[in-house]
Structure 1
Amino acid sequence: MPRKRTMDEGDELLARLGSLTAQARRRAELQRTQVELAIALQRGMLPRDLPAAPGLHLAVRYAPANLGLNVGGDWYDAFTMPDGRIGLSIGDVQGHNIEAASFMGQVRAGLRALASVTGDPGDLLARTNDLLLSLGSDLFATCTFMRLDPATGVLESARAGHIPSVWATADGKSGVVDDEGGPPLGIGQGIEFPVTRHRLTTGGVFVLLTDGVVEGPSLNIEDGLDQVVRLAGIAAVAGLEARALAAAVIKGAESVGHEDDAAVLVVGLDGPAAPA
């Protein structure tokens, strides 16, 4: 009899192990499906084409996070505004799931739609903030929006809780953009976003990026930004293509030590042509 009880208990244990294994497989399959869906949402919402203008060179790189359910909502965008100037945006939605990827699409679409109403970057961010609050979501997003006049190089920028951009000129100067900025989009009513004016000179570049490029367990944000400043400075002095600089910056994201989204948008004037 004892031997029979031992065999019964063994059979029961095997049955439980089999059930747990099946559950684990189902959960893993569900996670994989959710990740694939979120990545498809991300890629489907990013622009397929970038605007063109004489002397303007744009290049982008995007590396989605795909570790477990760690799928975020980073985005980049570039489009021609009604007045002929170029609208540029980059941002990051709070969270790492399908909801974040979907919310990213709403933010990007909102910016594009409202750009037909106002071209001022600060006013555009303020209106987008109000729009997101009206949707009733618990999520928020950081964002930088720039309006560039390719004919003059004048670039107007407003920032909503996002990390600053990097600039470099062909004469060897480079640094991090020093602007005031405002809080993230979607956290409060009646917020104003200061506008900073810059000038993109011949052969110079601006690098817009998300924090997945420059910040993580293995690299703090100051060192990460310094790394991009050095790359941008070298690229501007050497006259490298915008796409070569974008590739070098996204490659540097591997040193941050985590699997977050990473997005880069490089803007240049009168440098070597860089196919979008």
Structure 2
Amino acid sequence: MTRRRAPHAASAELLDTLGRLTAQAREGAELHHARVELAEVLQREMLPAELPRLPGLRTAARYAPARDGLDIGGDWYDGFRLPEGALAFSIGDVQGHDVEAAAFMGQVRICLRAVSAIVDDPGEVLSRANDVLLSMDSRLFATCSLLRFDPETWEIETARAGHVPAVWATVDGRCGIADDDGGLPLGLLPGAGYGVTRRRLTEAGAIVLVTDGVVEGPPFPIDEGLRRVARVVRDGVAAEPDELAAEVMKVADSTGHLDDAAVLVISHDAAAAEPA
């Protein structure tokens, strides 16, 4: 019978080292998995359970994690009622995709809600929110679009902080990409200003807000993504908001996006004719 030789000292040391490295790798993987799960919980709990509606104004939203299922926590959408009866909607994207990004996203949402309750002008809301976020000494920043809808005048006011523009379409077949001015992302520069675009909704249609995860991917330029969304919105403008949001989110699947993605649809009737 051949007797097995005892392992050489160097071999035993190598096996011991490999064992320790394997254990460390397992612990690292478990820690990363725990951070991803925590980010997913934060993301899910911080997004609104429902969006506000009014007669003649219907809303819907969608959120999707990145294609690899790990980049989560940066994108959000929101909708809330304001003290005087108006509605506000926001969508945005926080730098990074981890627990810190998810937490900062919640801070941005709360800040926008709080400032919007006391300030009407969306540009001023973004400016004040920017200064509040800077005072918190966070290392992160966020892009954002904020829309205010007045049910008395049927007018929308929009302001944009480094975010991708909105897409719109009307039931008569027109569509486009909003050409409103934008400012810097929130959390970068003290005293930043944000222009406001005002428009009365004289034709029935839809306004669609997206994050860049919907319209941009490694081989896919953002301009082409926006044009594709515009075509989808034009073709589906008469559909229910839930259906339109789902169709817009399909654009993200075609871009090979590495980022998470959010879609916010605001479908509206036409404003009543103004008295002569």
Do these two structures clear the TM 0.5 threshold for a shared fold by scoring above it? yes
Aligned 8 A contact 2:149 2:157 in 1: yes
Partner residue, 1:247: 246
Aligned 8 A contact 1:75 1:263 in 2: yes
Partner residue, 1:262: 261
Inter-partner Cα distance in structure 1 for 2:67 and 2:172: 39
The offset of 1:262, in angstroms, is 0.2
Aligned 8 A contact 2:141 2:187 in 1: yes
Aligned 8 A contact 1:64 1:260 in 2: yes
Inter-partner Cα distance in structure 2 for 1:201 and 1:61: 27
Give the match's secondary structure for 2:182: coil
Give the match's secondary structure for 1:47: coil
Q: Percent identity over the alignment?
A: 56
Q: What are the equivalent positions in structure 2 for 1:51-66 lying under 5 Å apart?
A: 51-65=52-66
Query: One-letter code of the match for 2:241?
Result: A
Inter-partner Cα distance in structure 1 for 2:202 and 2:76: 26
What count of residue pairs does the alignment treat as equivalent?
A: 267
Q: Which runs of 5+ in 1 are unaligned?
A: 272-276
Aligned 8 A contact 1:54 1:150 in 2: no
The offset of 1:27, in angstroms, is 0.5
Partner residue, 1:85: 86
Per-residue CA deviations over 1:118-158 (Å, capped at 9, x if unaligned) read 02101100110110011111211110000012354311000
The offset of 1:199, in angstroms, is 2.9
Give the match's secondary structure for 1:19: helix
Inter-partner Cα distance in structure 1 for 2:132 and 2:63: 26
Partner residue, 2:167: 166
Query: Aligned in 2, Cα 1:150/1:119: closer, same or farther, shift over 3 Å?
Result: same
Between 207-216 and 148-157, report the one with greater CA deviation: 148-157
Partner residue, 1:18: 19
Q: Which runs of 5+ in 2 are unaligned?
A: 271-276
Aligned 8 A contact 2:42 2:73 in 1: no
Tell me how large the CA RMSD over aligned residues is.
Answer: 1.8
Between 27-36 and 48-57, report the one with greater CA deviation: 48-57
Inter-partner Cα distance in structure 2 for 1:72 and 1:48: 16
Between 120-129 and 197-206, report the one with greater CA deviation: 197-206
Query: One-letter code of the match for 2:66?
Result: A
Aligned 8 A contact 2:43 2:72 in 1: no
